[in-house]
Structure 1
Amino acid sequence: MRAAVLRGYNKNGRALELKEASIPQIGSHDILVKICAAGVNPLDNMIVRGDVKAIVPYEFPLVMGNEFVGTVERVGAAAKKFAVGERVYGRMPLARIGAFAEYTAIDEGAVARVPDYLSDEEAACVPLTALTALQALELMEPSSGETVFISGGTGSLGAMAIPLAKSYGLTVFTNGSADNQERVLALGADRFFDYKTEDYTQILSRVDYVLDTLGGHELEREFSVLKEGGSLVSLRGMPNGEFAKRTGMSLAKKLMFKVAGLKYDRMAAKKRQKYFFVFVHEDGTGLERISKIFEDRHIAASVDEVFPLNEVNTALAKVAAGKSRGKTVLRIAEG
């Protein structure tokens, strides 16, 4: 089979190589999936640069890719959830990625059936970003009628987070470039801020929750609009001690991340706020819930551009440039 392979980390980015590889063997609880399409994410570029090696230390050569949609080709002896020919999608397990390939083997508990109305390209937009949004919302523990600010909500994460937040009954604020306003409001956002002409910190206050997609200096501004006792969940800040404890890391990593995230914990402590870092993990049950929400609300998935597998590096460069309106997708094979 063809697969896009990373040979080693490189801070400046490293081109993936398209190689012939063996079709993966399946374990007793695995299914073999023929991949039709795969989502391309900022996480893929972070893995290439080695940005997440403290969380997941990968070995090389590494078949890249974190989310996919495809059809079941074979099932393991103890796998009971899916039949050959069913269309499924999933976020690859953290330590066992490999969606930029013609086939993957994955535990049946990590995948879910695809809502029928989604095309393969649309379905490839969903697993990683929707699970990220769901896991962030679960950390917030929100109630209907509360408010959330989603920073930089015009990308692929916002396309999932906004409708999922609305399914919780939340009032959603977000910001970004003005040419995305109509699309983002159509997703369900209640208020959009043009970052060039409006400073959300001068308008918002006492927001119940913040979902941070930007990190860096923006975090301090986000804390400023959060109410006392509110929760901020970050995708781009630093992991902290709470994250290491929640994910069952070793004592050494608990100490390391406690120090790494101390700056943000101190920001939160000023107004008894809570700071969480999220690094999305596979979750078939959560994805089944997402599929149900999608089917009930007929949520649209935002596809930005589709590339063939042999243009994987062009796709990664597009995502790295940060100009996508929705998800960049690789077409692997016909379903």
Structure 2
Amino acid sequence: MKIPTQMKAFRFNRYGDPAENQRIPVPEIGADEVLVYIHNAGLNPVDYKVQAGKMKMIFPFHLPLTMGNEFAGEVAQVGSNVQDFQVGDQVYGRPDNQHTGTLADYIALDQNEIARFPAELDFQSASGVPLTGLTSYQALVELGHIQPGQKVFIQAGAGGIGTMAIQIAKALGAYVTTTASPQQTALVRSLGADQVLNYHETYFADVLFHYDMVFDTLGGQYLKDSFKILKPGGHLVTINGLPTYEFGQQHHLGMAKSLLFAVASAPLQRLAKKYHVHYDFLIMHPSGAQLQILSQMIANEKLLPIIDQIYDFGEAQAAYDYLESGHAHGKVIVNVNH
């Protein structure tokens, strides 16, 4: 594969600026890295949160920044230390925060952040797996410690995270309750949800109790009320709450920032103490090894990415507008090179 010197990229120059199509150099790879030619990119709410500057307190990014945090493509070049991948391999992944930018022709990233995707998927569907799949897996397994027979409540089951989390929780043997509109009840039930609450009519905290885990994606009052439905020793994992002191330390963000997180999350920590449960804020980390586990789930027909809309590269902003509207059920995908 002949690699050009320049490539297209959908990026913004300053926080709050609109993203636009630009021409930038193709990245060079290190000895442990691979260069991937991107076919498709999956979009996620974290993308426009980063663009708005809402994540810079947690992770400082180098600007200008290319949008996008998950992809499917083929290996175009391998570093001298790379042994498990070769040119032409079809792979998917979620880059780390130093290598963001999947709405571009190419991306350079560490070999440990990618995996071959199963033959059951094409590039479009594969690009919708890495970020939501890894987020759900890490919430349920690393932090939630889900065991067969345990009860899990997953907010917003028809969303990009929800459709993944329901399937992974069921593959782990859990009893799954979720929320959905009447129009999406059939979808979440088809993914394995055992109990579906119509959030227009029923508030989860009024009817659920003694759960082993809550996976919160909404934050705010929904997050605060989630403590009430857990059994003592249960786990509340959120991707839309506040980081803790432990989060800052684990991510090597420094003492000052960790202490700031401790102060900000103190009300939530008090709720955790009141109800004798564990509270964790999650930002997923890249993992090729965990992607291989998800690939096996897909091959075993335990996991299927749900695609809502597919846009062409020139429609990337319209794709983000649709995602931000909150109407997406499943993943929003962009054809980068298709």
Q: Does TM, normalized by the shorter one, top 0.5? A: yes
- Secondary structure of the 1:145 match is coil
- Report the counterpart of residue 210 of structure 1 in structure 2: 214
Among candidates 86, 89, 104, match of residue 83 of structure 1 = 86
What corresponds to 2:232 in structure 1? 228
**Structure 2: stretches of 5+ with no match in the other structure:** 1-6
Which of 279, 286, 295 is the equivalent residue of 2:283?
279
User: Structure 2: how far apart are the matches of 1:322 and 1:202?
Assistant: 24
The match for 2:12 among 6, 17, 29 is: 6
Instruction: Give the 3-state SS of the residue equivalent to 1:279 in structure 2.
Output: coil
Correspondence for 1:261? 265
Q: Spell out the pairing of 1:1-335 with structure 2 (5 A cutoff).
A: 1-10=7-16, 14-137=17-140, 138-334=142-338
* Paired residue secondary structure (1:163): helix
Counterpart Cα distance in 1 of 2:23 and 2:71: 19
- C-alpha distance in structure 2 between counterparts of 1:199 and 1:160, whole Å: 22
Distance 1:85 1:297 in 2: 25
Instruction: Output one character per residue of 1:175-213: Cα deviation in whole Å (capped at 9) or x when no partner.
Output: 021111101111111110010122222221010100000
- TM-score, scaled to structure 1: 0.97
Post-superposition offset of 1:308: 1.1
Q: Give me the whole-angstrom Cα distance separating, in 1, the residues matched to 2:320 and 2:296.
A: 30
Work out the number of aligned pairs and report it. 331
Q: Deviations over 1:108-155 (max 9, x none)?
A: 110000111112111111000000001111111121110100011210
Task: Indicate if the aligned counterparts of 1:94 and 1:281 stay in contact, CA closer than 8 A.
Answer: no
> Structure 1 runs of 4+ off > 4 angstroms?
none
Q: What is the CA–CA distance in structure 2 between the aligned matches of 1:198 and 1:2, rounded to whole Å?
A: 47
Task: Confirm or deny: 8 A CA contact 1:32 1:106 kept in the other structure.
Answer: yes
Q: How much is the aligned-residue C-alpha RMSD, in angstroms?
A: 1.0
Q: Secondary structure at the match of 1:135?
A: helix
Structure 1: which 5+ residue stretches go unaligned?
A: none
Cα distance, 1:61 vs structure 2: 1.1
Aligned mates of 2:143, 2:251 — CA distance in 1: 13
Deviations 1:150-183, CA, capped at 9 Å, x for gaps: 0112101011111111111110000021111101
Query: What is the CA distance between 1:298 and its match in structure 2?
Result: 4.7
TM-score by length of 2: 0.96
**Deviation readout 1:272-305 (Å, 9 max, x if unpaired):** 1110000011111111111111211252211111
Identity between Structure 1 and Structure 2 (%): 37
